[in-house]
């Protein structure tokens, strides 16, 4: 059985240290400010992104890595005797999965295995951690794929957006919806369902009120939350990160609660003060 190399992309929103500790290769995506391009995680994080937008008044566009980058990354490890397992942003949320799939036709058959996370940000990161655990148990790439795909439907991802401006600029929110939402002080509660983002609620008032509405989903799942890892992921929202942690820690004292900052690609679409809670539920 060949060794397994797990490869992901930067939209999983884990830190470089986490990727290094897990021995996972990361393919960075791009954040583009007109003619200036930055590699997510490597050259720009979400804090820097927010400052860049303030400074330039330019809202960035994002792009997945090229087919050539996927091909060369996969091939590098195949040439070293590894089988490759790729798990990144879901196919319904980005074209990256299809790009990764397209290059497998030019690589040796049966050496690359793709997992569609049907998720984004640290929702995909949760699955990545599980894949690493299966690898460390000695499973083959094919076995890891099979096991992780069983967990995909059990990931729960939800987040609160403070401003609709970034969603509007990214084409995920109309100008009318942005205007109405801003006037009514809405903070959309977005959930990932069946591989797509949906607006589950539109809490009005303070951002903290919206965070409480998001936590209601967690409370309903409390009896079946996997304590192995709960992610609190945010873009420049340290105060609400602390608030969520204080709320959920007493409820699951043995849980591994991990805070991460969203990368610049995810931050480009949701903006500052976005915050989410992401976890896996047991069957």
Domain boundary among 103, 122, 151: 151
Q: What is the DSSP letter of 236?
A: S
**Judging by beta carbons within 10 Å of its beta carbon (0-12, 13-18, 19+), is residue 176 exposed, middle or buried?**
exposed
Does 255 share its domain with 166? Answer: yes
Which residues of the chain carry a pLDDT beneath 70?
A: 164-185
DSSP string, 124-170: HHHHHHHHHHHHHTT--HHHHHHHHHHHGGGEEEEEE-S-SHHHHHT
DSSP-derived secondary structure letter, 4:
E
Q: Mark whether 141 and 166 lie in a shared domain.
A: no
Whose CA is closest to 248, among 279, 207, 219?
A: 219
Structure tokens belonging to residue 34: 């007109």
- Residues 8 and 141 reside in one and the same domain: yes
Do 67 and 48 share a structural domain?
yes
The C-alpha atoms of residue 34 and residue 100 are separated, in whole angstroms, by 26
- pLDDT at 164 (0 to 100): 65
**pLDDT score recorded for residue 185:** 66
The count of domains in the chain is 2
Q: What's the predicted TM-score (pTM) here?
A: 0.93
Supply the CATH number for residue 129's domain.
3.40.50.10170
Residue 4 phi/psi, 5-degree rounding, is -120, 130
Neighbours of 33 (CB within 10 A): 18
Domain extent at residue 29: 3-151
Asked if residue 67 and residue 21 are part of one domain, the reply reads yes
Task: Examine the fold and report which residue of 94, 122, 151 is the final residue of a domain before the chain moves on.
Answer: 151
My answer on whether 258 and 180 are in the same domain is: yes
- Are residue 144 and residue 168 in the same domain, yes or no? no
As a three-state string, the secondary structure of 17-84 is HHHHHHCCEEECCEEEECCEEEEECCCEEHHHHHHHHHHHCCCCEEECCCHHHHHHHHHHHHHCCEEE
Instruction: Kindly state whether residues 114 and 8 are assigned to the same domain.
Output: yes
55, 117: one domain: yes
**Confidence at residue 166, expressed as pLDDT on a 0 to 100 scale:** 52
What is the dihedral sign for C-alpha 115, 42, 31, 263? positive
Do residues 98 and 41 share a domain? yes
Last residue of a domain, one of 91, 122, 151: 151
Residues 164 and 139 in one domain: no
What is the reported pLDDT for 193? Answer: 93
Same domain assignment for residues 96 and 229: no
């Amino acid at each position: 059985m060949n060794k397994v190399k797990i490869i992901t992309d930067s939209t999983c929103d884990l830190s470089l240290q986490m990727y290094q500790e897990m021995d996972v290769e990361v393919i960075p995506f791009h954040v583009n400010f007109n003619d200036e391009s930055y590699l997510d995680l490597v050259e720009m994080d979400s804090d820097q992104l927010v400052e860049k937008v303030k400074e330039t008044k330019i809202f960035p566009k994002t792009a997945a890595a090229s087919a050539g980058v996927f091909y060369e990354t996969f091939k590098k490890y195949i040439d070293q005797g590894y089988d490759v397992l790729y798990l990144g942003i879901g196919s319904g949320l980005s074209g990256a999965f299809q790009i990764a799939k397209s290059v497998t036709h030019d690589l040796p058959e049966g050496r690359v295995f793709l997992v569609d996370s049907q998720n984004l940000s640290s929702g995909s990161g949760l699955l990545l951690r599980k894949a690493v655990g299966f690898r460390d148990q000695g499973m083959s790439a094919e076995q890891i794929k099979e096991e992780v795909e069983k967990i995909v439907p059990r990931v729960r991802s939800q987040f609160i957006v403070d401003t609709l401006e970034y969603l509007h600029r990214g084409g995920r929110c109309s100008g009318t919806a942005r205007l109405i939402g801003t006037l009514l002080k809405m903070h959309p509660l977005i959930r990932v369902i069946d591989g797509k983002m949906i607006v589950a609620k539109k809490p009005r008032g303070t951002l903290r009120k919206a965070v409480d509405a998001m936590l209601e989903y967690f409370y309903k799942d409390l009896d079946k939350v996997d304590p192995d890892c709960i992610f609190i992921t945010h873009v420049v929202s340290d105060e609400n990160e602390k608030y969520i942690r204080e709320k959920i820690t007493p409820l699951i004292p043995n849980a591994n609660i991990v805070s991460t900052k969203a990368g610049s690609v995810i931050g480009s679409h949701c903006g500052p003060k976005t915050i989410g809670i992401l976890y896996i539920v047991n069957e």
